[in-house]
Amino acid sequence: MSVIKDVIQKVKQMDPDQREFHQAVEEVMGTLEPTTKKHPEFVKANIYERIVEPERTIMFRVPWVDDKGNVKVNRGFRVQFNNAIGPFKGGLRLHPSVNLGIIKFLGFEQIFKNALTTLPMGGAKGGSDFDPKGKSDGEVMRFCQSFMRELFRYIGDDTDVPAGDIGVGGREIGYLYGYYKKIRNEHTGVLTGKGMSYGGSLIRPEATGYGTSYFAAEMLATRGLDFRGKIVAISGSGNVAQYAVEKVNQLGGKVISLCDSSATVIDEKGIDAKKCEYVLDLKNVRRGRITEYADKYKTVCYEGKNVWDVIREQGIKVDIALPCATQNELDGKNAAALLKNGCICVAEGANMPSTPEAIKIFQDKKILYGPGKAANAGGVATSGLEMSQNSLRLSWTREEVDNRLLLIMKSIHKNCADTAEAYGKKGDYVTGANIAGFTKVANAMLAYGVV
């Protein structure tokens, strides 16, 4: 059996219930076969088996008290996956679906994504099955403080630097950082996504959505195309989706969809800058549901359905798709419908939003397909820029950070495209991203010997 197949089988045998982690390992490992021939030294040092095993997995109890005085308990996670090229780095997710398998899939993806950013960051991820939806600010604060009461032991600005993800935005980072500062008595760059008045970076909130749009623009340019006049479907309505809408508008595209976990809205007239501002207020300040958008702008709304189901069922024409909600949101059936409706480009703002069946359809039909670890790397890249500014005790301007983000996304695109071509897979961004990210980390692991 090949080294790769052997590793995949072992991962499945060891943790049979971690489905999302298996999916991520198969997606990455499935493209690494050529590296075993080109780099026999990786095989000899057993890098393939070592890289799928986290450096450290931390699970802990998070007790907190709700507004009625009831004591609640959630489970906290931090998976420090790989720090070969820099301190552990990756977001925290607060969502009821969180379990060890999901955190491991996200942490594993993060290793390769961070390697692609050109910045020195290792891979990690964490979170909890706590659901911030419907909780008061006081409840979210007490949860975050309890979570940090345990997590603080394992993180540090040179050790592990968490950030936001689903359910963790500016409010949660504020509570987490405030508590860390209180118990450690230090003001350092230990978290990213901080507010501007206490060490945050301009453009960090925008970075993932902007970066995904920049990556899509780079892919389109390889075929002499751009966003102008294109119909763009975006899923989600959180941090990534909001700023993807903003940037697509700036680049001349027309965004026609958004969703949350309860409904999808389709706005054929386009979600312009003013409507986008409404969504930011709805989601980040009032913490309302996307159905309110449909009421306000008199658009159609499909309850209980995601964007890709609606596009398939209603036969809506789409040129470009940016899935920005969650993992496995876009399946094979909906991928086939997207292509039938004219889609030529898919760039993933979310992590692993396309199922393996959907990816196969995109690749077989040779449309432009940018996997999350490349297309959404702008978020963590700008977190890296926040770390740099914290170390320098300086703040860069919006233009400076945005320019750096754009250059990083161009460089990630080029690295993926060049690597794919070098391995005889021109246009295959999945292979390019996986091999480029893996090779960088594997070389560092090799240099350290067996540690």
> Shortest gap between Cβ of 264 and ligand NDP (angstroms)?
8
Say how far apart CA 256 and CA 271 lie, in whole Å: 6
Question: Are 385 and 443 spatial neighbours (Cβ–Cβ below 8 Å)?
Answer: no
Binding of ligand NDP by 164 (CB under 6 A) = yes
Binding of ligand NDP by 405 (CB under 6 A) = no
For residues 116 to 155, the per-residue mask of contacts with ligand NDP, x marking binding by CB under 6 A and - elsewhere, is: ----------------------------------------
Q: Which of residues 266-325 bind ligand NDP (CB under 6 A)?
A: 306, 324-325
Q: What DSSP letter does each residue of 78-141 carry, written as one string? A: EEEEE-SSSSEEEEEEE-TT--HHHHHHHHHHHHHHHHHTTS---EEEEEES---TT--HHHHH
> Shortest gap between Cβ of 323 and ligand NDP (angstroms)?
9
Residue with smaller CB distance to ligand NDP, 22 or 93: 93
Question: Are 277 and 283 spatial neighbours (Cβ–Cβ below 8 Å)?
Answer: no
Binding of ligand NDP by 237 (CB under 6 A) = yes
Tell me which stretch binds ligand NDP (CB under 6 A): 4-12, 142-150, 164-172, 400-408. 164-172
Residue with smaller CB distance to ligand NDP, 86 or 236: 236
Helix (DSSP H) and strand (DSSP E) numbers for the chain: 19, 13
Residue with smaller CB distance to ligand NDP, 189 or 238: 238
Among 122, 125, 70, 117, which residue's Cα sits nearest to residue 101?
125
- The length of the chain is 451
Residue with smaller CB distance to ligand NDP, 47 or 241: 241
Binding of ligand NDP by 115 (CB under 6 A) = no
> Shortest gap between Cβ of 4 and ligand NDP (angstroms)?
26
Q: Which of residues 204-233 bind ligand NDP (CB under 6 A)?
A: 208
Give the Cβ contact number of residue 123 at 10 Å: 31
Binding of ligand NDP by 20 (CB under 6 A) = no
Ranked by CB distance to ligand NDP, the top (closest) residue is: 238
Binding of ligand NDP by 257 (CB under 6 A) = no
Binding of ligand NDP by 159 (CB under 6 A) = no
Say how far apart CA 220 and CA 347 lie, in whole Å: 10
Residue with smaller CB distance to ligand NDP, 35 or 326: 326
> Shortest gap between Cβ of 221 and ligand NDP (angstroms)?
23
Question: Are 430 and 363 spatial neighbours (Cβ–Cβ below 8 Å)?
Answer: yes
Residue with smaller CB distance to ligand NDP, 318 or 374: 374
Say how far apart CA 203 and CA 364 lie, in whole Å: 36
Say how far apart CA 408 and CA 414 lie, in whole Å: 10
Give the Cβ contact number of residue 140 at 10 Å: 19
Interstrand relation of 300-303 and 263-266 (parallel, antiparallel or unpaired):
antiparallel
Among 123, 109, 196, which residue's Cα sits nearest to residue 386?
196
- Catalytic status, residue 125: yes
> Shortest gap between Cβ of 242 and ligand NDP (angstroms)?
8
> Shortest gap between Cβ of 209 and ligand NDP (angstroms)?
8
> Shortest gap between Cβ of 181 and ligand NDP (angstroms)?
22
Structure tokens at 217: 């623009």
Half-sphere exposure of 119 (CA within 13 A, CB side): 26
Structure tokens at 245: 């809408």
Binding of ligand NDP by 240 (CB under 6 A) = yes
Binding of ligand NDP by 259 (CB under 6 A) = yes
Among 156, 159, 153, 162, which residue's Cα sits nearest to residue 94?
162
Binding of ligand NDP by 389 (CB under 6 A) = no
Binding of ligand NDP by 261 (CB under 6 A) = yes
Displacement of CA 254 from its chain's centroid (Å): 23
Tell me which stretch binds ligand NDP (CB under 6 A): 35-43, 80-88, 161-169, 332-340. 161-169
Say how far apart CA 90 and CA 129 lie, in whole Å: 17
Structure tokens at 232: 């763009």
Instruction: Find the catalytic residue in 89, 113, 125, 440.
Output: 125
Residue with smaller CB distance to ligand NDP, 226 or 357: 357
Give the Cβ contact number of residue 306 at 10 Å: 23
Residue with smaller CB distance to ligand NDP, 42 or 246: 246
> Shortest gap between Cβ of 373 and ligand NDP (angstroms)?
9
Binding of ligand NDP by 166 (CB under 6 A) = yes
List residues binding ligand NDP (CB under 6 A). 164-167, 169, 208, 236-241, 259-262, 306, 324-326, 329, 349-351, 376, 379
Which residues are designated catalytic?
Answer: 125
